[in-house]
Amino acid sequence: MDHHSGFEKLCEALEGSGALLVVLDNKKRLNAMTIGWAQTGVIWGRSVMTVLVRPSRYTHELLEGARYFSVCVPALGAWKKELAFCGSKSGREYDKLRACALNTTDGSKPGIKLIEGAALSYECELLSKAEMPSSALPEEIRKKYYPAGDSHTLYFGEVIRVC
């Protein structure tokens, strides 16, 4: 599938209940976290997906030790309970995939895990990251999304496969 295929499905999910960011780090710890923000496009002449993760999240810790991540998009209206659970519970305390009865399958490279039954999955190889200081944002965005100053880290992943 073309790297830009499924953009509408991705946007529908992100504007709705979300999608699952799946990370397997170099210690073989696996976690899924619900995301509502991501972007795709071309950076550095490559197809790139950017995901935003707060440093307080367990997924942030895993991304720091990972080479890959995936973003698994549910069919429209699917996984509502699972997305709510994975967005409100920490992988430090729960095996969220087991608790939600979500099964994984291997991606195209060792270290990539996908959620079975996803309508669309993006497999990404980490390229870079950047801290996003909330002080650089307009005041109305800071007040709404960062009242405690807990801004995100942006993780840039080259899209290596969309399926």
Q: If we measure between CA atoms, which residue out of 39, 55, 56 comes closest to residue 124?
A: 39
Q: What is the DSSP string of the chain?
A: --TTTTHHHHHHHHHTT-EEEEEE-TT--EEEEEES-EEEEEETTEEEEEEEE-TTSHHHHHHHT-SEEEEEEPPTT-SHHHHHHHHHS-TTT--HHHHTT--EEE-SSTT-EEETT-SEEEEEEEEEEEE--GGGS-HHHHHHH-TT--PPEEEEEEEEEE-
pLDDT of 86: 94
Query: Distance between CA 121 and CA 74 in Å, rounded?
Result: 9
Mean pLDDT of 12-27: 90
Assigned fold of 7-162: Pnp Oxidase; Chain A (2.30.110)
β-partners of residue 20 are 34, 72
pLDDT in tens, 41-79: 999 999 999 999 999 999 999 999 999 999 999 998 899
How many beta carbons lie within 10 A of that of residue 104, not counting itself? 17
pLDDT of 1: 62
The mean of the pLDDT values for the chain is: 92
Radius of gyration from C-alpha coordinates of the chain: 15
pLDDT of 3: 65
pLDDT of 135: 85
Question: Global pTM?
Answer: 0.93
